[in-house]
Structure formats: structure tokens, C-alpha cells
Amino acid sequence: MSPENGKILPENDAADLNFEATELTLGLPGKSRVTSDGGAKLGNKRGFFETVDLNFGDKDCGQSQIDVQEAANSPVSNDEHRVQVEGWPPVRGFRKNAMTSCKYVKVAVDGAPYLRKVDLEMYDSYQQLLSSLEQMFSCFTIRNYLNEKKIIDHMNGIEYVPTYEDKDGDWMLVGDVPWQMFVESCKRLRLKKSSEAIGLAPRTPPKCASTTERSLN
Amino acid sequence: MNYFPDEVLEPVFDFITSHKDRNSVSLVCKSWFKIERYSRQRVFIGNCYSTCPERLIARFPGLKSLTLKGKPHFADFNLVPHDWGGFLYPWIEALAKSRIGLEELRLKRMVVSDESLELLSKSFVNFKSLVLVSCEGFTTDGLAAIAANCRFLRELDLQENEVDDHRGHWLSCFPESCTSLVSLNFACLKGEINLGALERLVARSPNLKSLRLNRAVPFDTLEKLLMQAPQLLDLGTGSYVPDPSSEAYNRLKSAIQRCKSIRSLSGFLEVNPRCMSAIYPICANLTFLNLSYAPGLSGNELTKLIQHCRKLQRLWILDYIGDKGLGVVASTCKELQELRVFPTDPLGAGNAAVTEEGLVLISAGCPKLNSLLYFCQQMTNAALITVAKNCPNFICFRLCILDPIKPDPVTNRPLDEGFGAIVESCEGLKRLSLSGLLSDQVFLYIGMYAKQLEMLSIAFAGDSDEGMLYVLNGCKKLRKLEIRDSPFGNAALLEDVGKYETMRSLWMSSCEVTLGGCKTLAEKMPSLSVEIINESQQMEFSLDDRTVDKMYLYRTLVGHRKDAPEFVWIL
């Protein structure tokens, strides 16, 4: 074989595979991959979906194949029709767990030219998160102002309200839902200038001298 | 040769350090066998079930350093059930009873219990070095025993182990009298550690050359440690989130300037990207940079850093560096020998940020490249052919396309020609991992050209038994073959049963070998152990034409192992 001369493979079994049909699947390779209706592939001996493990990031490989039927029925969400296959891509379990346990979200501050990133998995509570934000944007301090969490820029007296975008794309006030729920649904954070946060904050009673401890989580 | 007394040959053999050479020497004649075995200090056992502790002890009474590997490689990817085997304890138990003066133990994919660590720590007075890679089964209590009892410990190196972290004070268990540490790596631990104890330990370890911290070690401590240990060669930061306006950050900047010996850098498990510039002064001398656990850096920050690393020989990064970023690597790191690009999203659900373009750029800019691990979105035959031409020195070539049966997206052909070019051009290739759409043709090329190949990993590839046969017949030096989800069956398995005695092991899962085929093999080759791993279904002994889920076979001197769990059936 001389790879340099760019010889095209003569027609052979490989070329008979009908690449269009095989392109998007993870069935076993082999001539029988193509079904008559060109639909989803099933391997020779085992169904395609039987090799799918839907327990993402789950270390315990003793998990039984769950809900095979459900997997077979649910519509494929991403363009490539790619479904998770057990043990693929071949990344060491330790690395998989280390990487997937990161939940990095962008943090934007109204008026600041740069964004930051925080790993929500590093925190156990709203208080820790807000303290960390305080350190990151170090000119601000956080005040628990009545029932809301606000961040106040002492330099210019501007109040910031921490908000986040959830999975549905809605902008929500930080602190309403239990911490874990927040971690799971938060896509990114934004410290909005208080005046612009109208519409997100619930109605608040008029300002008074005392602050109220809000129980977290 | 017969005329030299033993005392003359012994010092000569001392110069022979490679395991392969030592093994060859021992086969020359009885007298050389005897001299070699008494003078052997380092033994490597690639499959712990190929022999047993008693035989090891009997043959090498002078043993000082032992390397053991347990589970098959695919265990790394969750394909081997948790309690399959690879237990350390019996080895320690037997060694402890003997008169072996063990000083060094290196383990990979073994199950290491706290009891075995404790026994180890108490049984060998001169124990110096413990290296655990991808192991499991122990907690920080076991580490506490090592710290407390190994008075002359030089090296404790934990790489990517699953450790049950009891957040105890294992670091505090190093006695005040322990000043011998040269290497301490606990980056894989998840829990808190006693920071004061760590600082004191580093302060009293003047020989410390390698220090890799875990995420729980904050920036402030890192700064203090660097002040104490300017002699470090290898640094792994834990958390690197300084407050840029703080005194600690300023102190770190000057501490780093004093660390003129650092050649290897890793960590940044948590990072403030604005503060990476403090690291630039040591970049010029770096030969190894591992940022594969640093998702907090952006592609830009990554390339900015790499531009300072002109002497880099080994680089491990995440794929969000992108093809352009790899271009920067290619134009900066002319000494590069090893590159590993890991997926930022290891579940593979997203898209990898690198393609064949990045690899081509690297191959053009880094002609010394000899080792590659590359997770990518796609690959083309043309790219692989170019890479083969640019880099004929590959010893290890592992390509992983996230969609494992993706063809060349430009031509829609299999990647046979591309991989064929690699094996033809790289005559020294020892390790190869394939992916993408592949037919039997690629195996024809491998059998034809990959004459030095020792390890081959195959997934979702090939059309028929012919594929596997090309490999078994052509690759004379093959030692490890692992195959998953490929249509190879009994005909390929049984054609040349003697071949497996020349190999360490063969793994086949989700292929087409049947129980009957495996039984036949086991009957014909009593020197092999043929294991069937069958966790999900009931073992139906009568159905010989049933395909097996997972088969793992290996040559062994000691017959069937006695510690196999229920779901493992040894034929």
C-alpha cells in the first residue's frame, strides 16, 4: 500500500456498508447494520440500546441496564443522534468524576468589563457562594438586607442583586429555592444593579432598621 | 562465559537494568539464571495473576522493588465489575512472612485495602516508596498507617485513585522525625487536610523535590509551601484562587522567582485566571505541563501560558484549547514529545473542541512527537496521512473520536488508509488505539506493518474474523490485545491458540465469541486462564452457542486463581 499516492479503495465490502445509513449510530459494525427501512441500527446479537448506559457519571458499574425500553422510545435530543455508550469515550473513571463534578457557571456584573467563572460544586450554601463572589469582586460587600441578598458596592453605593438564569432561560432571584436545586438549575449568574432588578424581586416591606436572618437552604 | 566466577558476573549484571534484558540474561544458561536471580532487585509483574507471591519470593530473594498490575486496562472505563479481583493483601501477607526487604511498591489497578497498607507499613523496615495508580479500596486511614510507620519514607505518590477520604489527620501522622520525603503527591484526595501539618512537614523535608497538592489546599498555604521549598522540581498546585490585591499573592510572585528548578507543573484544579501571570517566570524551564484538570482556564489563558513554555516536552491539556490553540502549541513547543488532549466533557455528550486540523498543525510543528492521546470530534484520512509523514517517530498513538464509528467526514470513507499510513510510517510503534469507522482493511495494514506493536486497543471496528486474524498473524510482538464491540468470533479466536502464550492477555467484550469457543480454547491451552465475566445474565452452562459478554484470558504459571468472585467463571 502506498498511502501517498492517494489510491482510492477499490469497491469492496467496506464500501457496501452504505455510509449514510451507518453514519449516525453506535450499533455493531458489520454488514447487517443497515436495516431495510434505513432506520435506527441494531447490532447483530444485541440491540443498540442494550449497550447504552444512561447513568451518566455513575461510577458503579454494577448498575443494571435501566429502562431499555424507555431509551428506545425517547426521542434523540442532539443533532448527532449520539447516545451514551458504556465505557465510551474511554476516559478513566477518576477523570470522568473529577470533570463532571465541576459545575462552572459564568458570573457577570453589571458595569464590569469582564466575567468570572465559579464552580458551584465547591460551595455548600448560598452564604459561601456569596462570600466567594464578594472576594472575587473585592470592592463589594454583601449585606443580608431584609429577606434579600444584596451586594453593595461601598465605593459608589450601588446595590447589586444576585440573579441567575435557570434551565428554562428565565432570570430568577438567587436564594429562593433550596441550595442543591439551585446548583442543578443554575446556568449562569449575574449581579444586577438593584434598580434593574425590579420585576424579579418579590414585593418587600419598606426598609427598616433591623435585618432578618434568613435561614439558608 | 563459564570461566568467570559469580563475583565477576554479578557487578556486570548490575548494569543491566531493563526488565526485558534481565529476563533475557536469565535464559542464557543455568549459571546465569542463578546469578541473575540472586542479584535481581527490581521485578515487574504486568499481570498479578500470571504468577503468585510464593514463586516470586522463591526466585528473587533479593527483591527490593516490586511493580504489580491488577485489573485489565478496560477496567479504567467501567467495563470490569468492581470486585473482579486484583487484591494486594495476599502479596503483602506473603512478602511480610518472608525475609524480603521490600523498599518500593508500585501498583496499578489493584484493590488495596487499609489492612494491606497497614501490614505493609509495619513489615518492612526500609520501606521507602509507595506509588499507587488508578487503585481503589483504601481510605485515608491506610495512608495514616504508611505515614506513621514508614520511618524512611521517601515517596508517597497517589495518582488518580479512588480514595475514601475520612478527612482524618493522616498528614499529621508523619512523625517529627520524618525528614526523608522526596516526593509527596496527594492530588487525587478529595477531602480536607491538616494545613498546619502539611506546612511543618514540608518545612522539615529538605530533600523534597516533588509536591502535588489537592484541591483542599488553598492559595495561602501554597504560597507558604513554596517559600519553604524553593528546591522543588515538580509542583502540583491545589486550589489557585488568589486575591490579586493580597499580600499573599505578592509573596507568591517572589517565591516563584526563587523556584528556579521547577520543571514540571500541574494542578490548578480551581483557578483564578487573572493570576496566571505569576506563573510565567517558571514557564521557560518547564518540560512537563499538565493542565488536564484545570477547566477553569479559558482557551486564551491557556495559550497565553503555553507561549511562555518553549522547552515543553510533555503537555496534557483539555480539548477546549481548540485547533487554534494547538496551532500555538505547534509554533511554540518545538521540543514536544508527548501530547495528551482530554475531553472537557468526558461524557461525550457535547462536542470536542478539536478536530483533525489541530493534530495536523501539531505534527507539522513538533517533529519530535512520539506519544499521542487525542480525543477529537473527527478525523480524516488525509490528516492522518500527513501526520504520519510529519511524525515517523510515534511509539504510542491513541486516537479517540468521540463518535466511535464516525467515518472520514470529507470522503465518508472508513479511516483504514489513515491508520494504515501511521503504522507504515512509524516503524517503532508499540502502542495503538483505534477509533472511527474501520473495516477489516485497517487490520490488514496493522498486521503488515506494525511489527513492533505490543499493545492494540480496538472498539467498534472491523467486519469479520479476518480482521482479528490479520493482527494475530502479523503482529509478532503483540503482548496485549483488547477488543470491544467488534464482530470477531470463534474462528478468529481459535485459529492459532498458541499465540496467546506469547502474549500477556486478551480481552474481548461484546464480540461474537461464544461460550463453546472459549471452552475449546481453555481445553486446548491449559497454560491459559480463560475467564468469562457475566454479571447481568444467569450463567446457562448448557448453551455453548451463546455469545459471551466479556472474556479475559491470560497466560499464567499458577493455574486458576482462587479469589474469583461469583460472576467470574474460569473455564
- Would you say residue A115 lies in a domain? yes
In a domain, A125, yes or no: yes
Give me the mean pLDDT over the A90-96 stretch.
Answer: 92
Is B2 near chain A, with CB under 8 Å?
no
Instruction: Please indicate, yes or no, if residue A170 is contained in any of the structural domains.
Output: yes
8 Å CB contact between A27 and A33: yes
* B346·A100 Cβ contact <8 A: yes
Find all residues with CB under 8 Å of B191, minimum gap 6, and list them.
Answer: B140, B165, B166, B167, B216
List the single residue in A30, A61, A117 with the smallest CB-CB distance to B487.
A30
Question: Does B463 contact A4 at a Cβ distance shorter than 8 Å?
Answer: no
Which tens digit of pLDDT belongs to each residue from B52-76? Answer: 999 999 999 999 999 999 999 999 9
Q: Within 10 A of A48 (CB to CB), how many other CB atoms are there? A: 19
Residue B158 lies in a domain: yes
Q: Do A96 and B347 touch (CB under 8 A)?
A: yes
Residue A89 located in a structural domain: no
DSSP code of residue B512? B
Residue B428 lies in a domain: no
The reply to whether A23 falls in a domain is no
Neighbours of A198 (CB within 10 A): 9
* Assembly ipTM: 0.90
Judge whether A188 lies within some domain: yes
Residue B307 has pLDDT above 80, yes or no: yes
Interface of A with B in 153-212 (CB under 8 A): none
Question: Can you tell me the distance from the alpha carbon of B535 to that of B543, in angstroms, rounded to the nearest whole number?
Answer: 17
Residues 53-82 in A contacting B (C-alpha not used; CB under 8 Å) = 56-57, 59-62, 64-65, 78, 80, 82
Which tens digit of pLDDT belongs to each residue from B234-278? 999 988 988 888 899 999 999 999 999 999 999 999 888 889 999
In B, minimum Cα distance to A3 occurs at B421
Which residues constitute the domain of residue B61?
41-189
A91 touches chain B (CB under 8 A): yes
Amino acid at B303: T
Cβ <8 Å between A94 and B536: no
| B346-394 pLDDT, tens digit each | 765 556 789 999 999 999 999 999 999 999 999 999 999 999 999 999 9
The kind and range of the H/E element at B241 are none
* pLDDT tens digits for range B501-534: 999 999 999 999 999 999 999 999 999 999 999 8
Kind of pairing, strands A171-173 and B42-45?
unpaired
In a domain, B126, yes or no: yes
Rounded to a whole number of angstroms, the distance from the CA of A172 to the nearest CA of chain B is 25
- Give the domain CATH number at B122: 3.80.10.10
What angle do helix axes B140-149 and B114-123 make, rounded to 10 degrees?
Answer: 0
**What's the structural domain count of chain A?**
1
The Cβ-side half-sphere exposure at B6, using a 13 Å CA radius, reads 10
Which CATH number is A144's domain given?
A: 3.10.20.90
Domain span at residue A187? 104-196
Q: Quote the number of domains for chain B.
A: 1
Question: Does A124 contact chain B (CB < 8 Å)?
Answer: no
SS3 B438: coil
392-451 of B, contacting A, C-beta below 8 A: 400, 402-407, 412-414, 416-417, 420-421, 424, 433, 437-441, 445, 448
Q: B137-146, B168-177, B447-456: lowest mean pLDDT where?
A: B168-177
